């Protein structure tokens, strides 16, 4: 499977790259805007934080196909291997086909429906990103979406991967993986929740306290 962080926090990427088997970093315009770092400075910094290798994803801002393609080309030229994120609108589907014809890797993003994700895959997207929590938050079922989409892609577009996105809880992440999805991108708070289970810390503290109580030291 492939594990990504969904962030523009360079220091956090560096920290997590030490701990987790990260494949790379995904961003979107809101995440980049929140960081306040210009995209063209941010992308090389994220790559360096990953240790010089790893897959980066950055999103186009344009809404018309021609401009989406121009932005995608600029992104791909600036960062070799970068995957261009394109929202799966009608114009986005046109842009995905054109970017693929230029041999530029694409992720279809802002996916709220299985048919929408399948269309992005048929247009040539190598990844499609269903928004799990955002769908849950509006009364839908994000995990069912991931499950349906994964089945559709396995049947009809097996070269496209589901990269599930938009998480608030570790449970959502694990449910997607159990549904057969092979790639996830984690916001920092969810990555933190996966690691820092309070019960684990309490158990480790008790081991140390018991040892110190018996032997008067905290080393073997």
Catalytic residues: 85
Q: Which two tokens stand for residue 103?
A: 């041999």
Quick check: 124 binds ligand E4P (CB under 6 A)?
no
Shortest distance, CB of residue 59 to ligand E4P, whole angstroms?
A: 7
The region that residue 164 occupies, defined by phi over 0 for left and psi between -120 and 50 for alpha, beta otherwise, is: beta
Among the residue ranges 33-41, 76-84, 94-102, 130-138, the one whose residues contact ligand E4P (CB under 6 A): 130-138
Quick check: 56 binds ligand E4P (CB under 6 A)?
no
Q: Which residue of 133, 151, 169, 193 would you call a contact of ligand E4P, by CB under 6 A?
A: 133
Among the residue ranges 48-56, 61-69, 127-135, 144-152, the one whose residues contact ligand E4P (CB under 6 A): 127-135
The region that residue 46 occupies, defined by phi over 0 for left and psi between -120 and 50 for alpha, beta otherwise, is: alpha
* x/- letters, 23..42, toward ligand E4P (CB under 6 A): ---x-x--------------
Quick check: 136 binds ligand E4P (CB under 6 A)?
no
Quick check: 50 binds ligand E4P (CB under 6 A)?
no
Q: Which two tokens stand for residue 33?
A: 């805007």
The nearer residue to ligand E4P, 144 or 211, going by C-beta atoms, is: 144
Shortest distance, CB of residue 212 to ligand E4P, whole angstroms?
A: 42
* Measured CA distances, 51 to 43, 199, 212 (Å): 13, 32, 39
Question: Binders of ligand E4P among 177-196, rule CB under 6 A?
Answer: 185, 187
Alpha carbon of residue 177 to chain centroid: 13
Quick check: 166 binds ligand E4P (CB under 6 A)?
yes
Q: Which residue of 14, 17, 134, 140 would you call a contact of ligand E4P, by CB under 6 A?
A: 134
Quick check: 7 binds ligand E4P (CB under 6 A)?
no
Which residues would be at the binding site for ligand E4P (CB under 6 A)? 6, 26, 28, 109, 129, 131, 133-134, 165-166, 185, 187
């Amino acid at each position: 499977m492939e594990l990504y962080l969904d962030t523009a926090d360079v220091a956090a990427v560096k920290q997590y790259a030490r701990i987790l088997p990260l494949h790379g970093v995904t961003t979107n315009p809101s995440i980049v805007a929140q960081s306040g770092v210009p995209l063209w400075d941010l992308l090389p910094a994220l790559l360096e934080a990953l240790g010089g290798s790893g897959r980066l994803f950055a999103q186009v801002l344009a809404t018309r196909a021609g401009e989406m393609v121009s932005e995608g080309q600029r992104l791909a030229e600036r960062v070799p291997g970068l995957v261009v994120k394109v929202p799966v609108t009608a114009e986005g589907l046109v842009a995905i086909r054109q970017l693929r014809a230029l041999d530029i890797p694409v992720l279809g993003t802002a996916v709220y429906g299985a048919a929408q994700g399948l269309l992005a895959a048929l247009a040539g997207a190598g990844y499609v990103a269903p928004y799990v929590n955002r769908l849950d938050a509006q009364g839908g079922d994000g995990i069912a979406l991931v499950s349906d989409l994964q089945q559709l892609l396995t049947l009809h577009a097996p070269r496209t991967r589901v990269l599930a996105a938009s998480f608030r809880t570790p449970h959502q992440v694990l449910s997607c993986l159990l549904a057969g999805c092979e790639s996830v991108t984690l916001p920092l708070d969810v990555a933190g929740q996966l690691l820092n289970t309070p019960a684990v810390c309490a158990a480790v503290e008790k081991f140390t306290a018991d040892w110190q109580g018996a032997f008067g030291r905290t080393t073997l």
